Amino acid sequence: MKIRGYKISKLSWIFILIAIWTGFTGCKPEQPPQKLVVLTFDDAVTSHLEFVAPLLQEKGFGATFFISYAWMRDTTHFLTWEEVAEIDRMGFEIGNHTWTHEPLHTEEAINRMDRNLALVDSALASQGIPKPVSFAYTGNHFAPGSIEKIREMGYRFARRGMQPEIPYGKIANGPLYDPEKNHRLVIPTTADAYPEWTLDHFKSIIDRAEAGKAIILQFHGVPDIAHPWVDTDPELFSQCMDYLEETGIRVIAMRDLDAYFDIQDVEDPALQYTHGVPGGYNPCPQEGDVWILAGQSNMQGAGRTPDTLVNPEIWMMNMDDLWSTARSPIHRIFEAKAPAYAMAFHELNSNSGTSIESTMELFKKRASMSGKIPIGGTGPGLFFARHLLENTGRPMGLIPCALGGSTIDQWDPNHIPSGDSCLYGAMINRAQSTGGDQIKGMVWAQGESEAILGQPETYEAKLLQFIDATRRDLEKPDLPILIVQIGRLITHNPEMARNWEAIREIQRQVVRKRSNLYLTTGIDLELDDVAHYSTPSNQVLGNRLGEIALTHIYNLPGHADQPVPHSIELKQDSVVGSPYLHLLYSRVSGMLKASGKPTGFELRIDDKTPFGHVISRVELDPEDPAGLRLYLSAIPQGTGQLICGPGINPHMNITDSKNMAIPAFGPIAIDFNSLKSNALILE
């Protein structure tokens, strides 16, 4: 056939007819569906502008930078608002990540959200940045109330973490965003970047890309010097971005999702999650009372004699987050599922020059060994649980969380956004996973690190912050907490000795500053090494803790309390005429007694022990079962200081009839002129 002089073949006619048909019907040749990656970066880290944004701009990638003011006062490591504006002018999306970065799952935090988010919006507007349409939940914590608040405030998209599919802090491949299953206000994170990431792991994430879904990546700083637990190495990041470029995957900002999906509100179980469900729901298998054990090595346990007793009514959440019948050792650190333990262990041993990769490898190897023959020493926790079970008949559950050598800063509640990558976050997540109703209280033994490091000045404030935050985050404002006063260190170091005394006194006094705080001590007990209680001593300490709990928390009559110093009077011996301080204790069970000659006190004048004014001997008061007589070589003129448990390695041997030891105290200032006529009241 010819058209205008051209001869047309039969095959050409077929193509012409197809073209005519598609022209009439509007059909177009089908294009391959696009695979998508959404890049997100949290917390306004300086490296976002210095390194990340230029690299992404060069590759033509989109990204969302979620801005929180929480750390922006630190202009060395975090952006200024003017620098945030530079990222906006480069064409990237700026999202809201709250002003304070507080977790958004409590009623109080949700009530503050309007102002919390509006402050960020206002600061952005002052720089000419449009009101954000995307939001990221802080620390990946959220609740139905915070989701509804985000909806009311007009946000189009909101990103959650990998939970509950993947516990916070775990290096794994999480869910892809599926607009047919995932609600736009709880978009799941597919992968959360941590220092342990490798290029192969990143490739395994990207290779899961599917048409009709999107991979959501959550980064922090590249690098993140101020928050090393979420740091990403710049060289690795560059390699990851090169791989994205090689695959041809479209890399976009969160706001761009509308261009690729017909997004409708869908039913999503995540809309009903109450805490972002970190770690999932993991209650104790047996109905009973659950106790959290936290602190450093004397809670972790270093007793060298094995404890082989097992009671089927005492359970423990092993460090791998699996419940089992409690068997010593209960702190099996190398089996920890939470990366916090390996990271804190590495930090504590940073002077060794070992890399974080080597530490992680060490934990993996020892985890395998510990799974066969558990690695760890004997501590007080299991003895404590046995004592409670024997006296209440209630099954017990233990959540061991302590780490030897850990500092109070490593338990800082401000690290909670890092979840299972910090000790505090891991503790809260593990406790929350039980559902919370079974949590009966906490036992805390920590403070030796601050005594060694010479940091007593800030210890009280940090300890109270830890206590208040724990009660807040577990939503138990009256959570009972038993504090173990730090014991002895077998060394001679006069400078460190004053720090040791100061920490002991802070612990004694702090229980007066909050309700439901209780103290006990093991300062009189024998050690197995330079600082750690022996197994028999841990049994005594566990029983003492149990007695405090039975008296104050279970309200059972006939159990012991912690003896505390009540008053001091200046008296004279009626037989020999020698002056003595009459030290009276309260909360004594039965009477005070001593193994051998009573001892453990020192009198100081101007912070020294002068030759002419010493405590020459200590006697149990024959007239008062709760009293001691501290005989003086002479009565000082003016003021002095009395201390019980002086120095770093005091010898103390006074208990009551139920084997509850008197605590260390002081130095307590004494005006001897006033004491001649008035007793000094200590409580």
The full set of domain ranges for the chain reads: 1-30, 36-272, 289-552, 564-681
pLDDT at 2: 36
pLDDT-derived band at 356, boundaries 50, 70, 90: confident
**pLDDT value at 618 more than 60:** yes
pLDDT-based confidence at residue 417 (cuts at 50, 70, 90): confident
Q: Residue by residue, what is the 3-state secondary structure of 91-127?
A: CCEEEECCCCCCCCCCHHHHHCHHHHHHHHHHHHHCC
Task: Choose which CATH entry (3.30.1330.10, 3.40.50.1110, 3.40.30.10, 1.10.10.10) describes domain 289-552.
Answer: 3.40.50.1110
Give the pLDDT confidence of 377-409 residue by residue, as tens digits: 999 999 999 999 999 999 999 999 999 999 999
Give the pLDDT mean for 202-222. Answer: 95
The mean pLDDT value for 187-194 works out to 93
Residue 17: pLDDT over 70: no
Average pLDDT over residues 310-326: 90
* Percent of the residues in the chain that have a pLDDT greater than 90, as a whole number: 77
Paired tokens of 255: 């706001």
pLDDT recorded at residue 281 = 63
Give phi and psi for 419, each to the nearest 5: 55, -130
Phi–psi pair at 99, nearest 5 degrees: -75, -40
Lowest mean pLDDT among 39-43, 171-175, 497-501, 653-657: 171-175
Which of the four pLDDT bands, split at 50, 70 and 90, describes residue 286? Answer: confident
Give residues with Cβ within 8 angstroms of 640, minimum separation 6. 603, 604, 605, 613, 669, 670, 672
- pLDDT of residue 223 exceeding 90, the answer is yes
Q: What is the pLDDT averaged over residues 273-300?
A: 79
pLDDT band of residue 57 (cuts 50, 70, 90) is very high
Stated as kind and residue range, the H or E segment containing 493 is: none
Joined together, the tokens standing for residue 492 give 């001679």
d(CA 408, CA 412): 6
Chain position carrying tokens 């750390």? 71
Using the CB atoms, write b or e for 642-663: b if 16+ within 10 Å: bbbbbbbbbebbbbbebebbbb
pLDDT of residue 33: 59
What token pair was written down for 211?
A: 């048409």
How many other CB atoms sit within 10 Å of the CB of residue 608?
A: 9
Please state the pTM of the whole predicted model. 0.65
| 13-30 mean pLDDT | 37
Split at pLDDT 50, 70, 90, the class of 576 is confident
DSSP-derived secondary structure for 136-195: E-GGG---HHHHHHHHHTT-SEEE--STTTS-TT--S--PPB-TTTS-TTSBPPSEE--T
Tell me how far apart the alpha carbons of residues 277 and 164 are, in angstroms, rounded to a whole number: 5
Question: Mind listing the pLDDT tens digit for each residue in 124-164?
Answer: 999 999 999 999 999 888 888 999 999 999 999 999 988 76
Average pLDDT, the chain: 91
Over residues 620-636, the mean pLDDT reads 96
Phi, psi of 146 (to 5 degrees): -70, -35
Residues 6+ apart with CB under 8 A from 314: 325, 326, 382, 385, 386, 389, 395, 396, 397, 398
Question: What was the pLDDT predicted at 167?
Answer: 58
Distances (CA, A) of 207 to 176, 249, 282, 424, 627: 12, 10, 32, 34, 75
Measure the CA–CA gap between 36 and 445, rounded to whole angstroms. 49
Tokens 């404002």 -> residue:
477
Answer whether 670's CB lies under 8 Å from 680's CB. yes
In which band, very low, low, confident or very high, does the pLDDT at 631 lie, cut at 50, 70 and 90? very high
Residue 586 pLDDT greater than 70, yes or no: yes
**DSSP state, 286?**
S
Please report the pLDDT score of residue 283 as a whole number. Answer: 76
Q: Are 157 and 172 in contact (CB under 8 A)?
A: no
Query: Tokens 């190495």 — which residue?
Result: 233
Cα-to-chain-centroid distance, residue 141: 14
| Distance between first and last Cα of the chain | 114
d(CA 623, CA 324): 52
Residue 498, pLDDT above cutoff 90:
yes
pLDDT of residue 8: 43
Let me know how long the chain is.
683
Q: Strand (E) positions, 271-379?
A: 289-295, 314-317, 323-325
Amino acid letter for position 393? G
CA 351 to chain centre: 23
Q: What CATH number belongs to 36-272? A: 3.20.20.370
Phi-psi domain of 146 (left: phi exceeds 0; alpha: psi -120 through 50; beta: other) = alpha
What's the pLDDT tens digit per position in 245-263? 999 999 999 999 999 999 9
Partners of residue 291 on adjacent β-strands: 398, 441
pLDDT number for residue 32: 42
pLDDT reported for residue 274:
64
Q: Can you tell me the distance from the alpha carbon of 44 to that of 71, in angstroms, rounded to the nearest whole number?
A: 8
Confidence of residue 9 (pLDDT cuts 50, 70, 90): very low
